[in-house]
């Protein structure tokens, strides 16, 4: 189901979004604070989206919800938001926005739209997001949305063979 906010449309992620999001996901600064690397090809991204579009983990214990975010203002895709619903009623949130559009409030608007949908659709969710301690933009976003600092994780191993510190933020 598509969701709308004042300036955005959140479209359920489909394999066809791979070509539309690929170029934006190549920006190195996206990966400064997240456990991911730029997709190697449109085909590899499409393969990943085929799995995500199933909306459920292979073992059936998690619901995977992912949306590509379209800006009506800029007339382009600007990133994606995601939520993983676990058996213990946690909603683990994630979001990636293209750096050329940072600072316009799109992340706040999209994440808020997603949270509103999740509150209406699922009962008694405990929202959480894990954030690198140096990702000040993401921390500010979560504070703005009413999240509070919960747990500190030291020396989380990353794909870049580095160790990072993360903080979990929660909202009920």
Q: And the tokens for 71?
A: 């800006």
CB atoms within 10 A of CB 76: 14
Q: And the tokens for 3?
A: 């969701």
* pTM exceeds 0.75 for this model: yes
Rounded to the nearest angstrom, the gap between the alpha carbon of residue 143 and the centroid of all alpha carbons in its chain is: 16
Mean pLDDT for 101-129 is 97
Could you give the 3-state DSSP secondary structure of residue 74? coil
Query: φ and ψ at 18, to 5 degrees?
Result: -55, -50
Q: And the tokens for 19?
A: 């070509």
pLDDT digits over 24-52, tens only?
999 999 999 988 999 999 999 999 999 99
């Amino acid at each position: 189901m598509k969701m709308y906010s004042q300036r955005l449309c959140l479209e359920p992620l489909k394999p066809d979004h791979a070509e539309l999001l690929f170029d934006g996901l190549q920006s190195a600064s996206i990966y400064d604070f997240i456990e991911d690397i730029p997709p190697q090809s449109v085909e590899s991204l499409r393969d990943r989206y085929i799995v995500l579009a199933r909306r459920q983990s292979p073992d059936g214990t998690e619901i995977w919800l992912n949306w590509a975010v379209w800006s009506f203002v800029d007339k382009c895709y600007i990133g994606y938001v995601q939520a993983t619903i676990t058996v213990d009623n946690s909603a683990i949130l994630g979001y990636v926005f293209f750096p050329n559009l940072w600072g316009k409030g799109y992340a706040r608007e999209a994440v808020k739209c997603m949270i509103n949908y999740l509150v209406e659709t699922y009962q008694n969710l405990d929202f959480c997001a894990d954030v690198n301690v140096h990702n000040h933009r993401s921390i500010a976003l979560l504070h703005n949305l009413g999240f509070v600092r919960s747990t500190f994780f030291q020396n989380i191993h990353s794909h870049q063979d580095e160790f990072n510190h993360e903080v979990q933020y929660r909202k009920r």
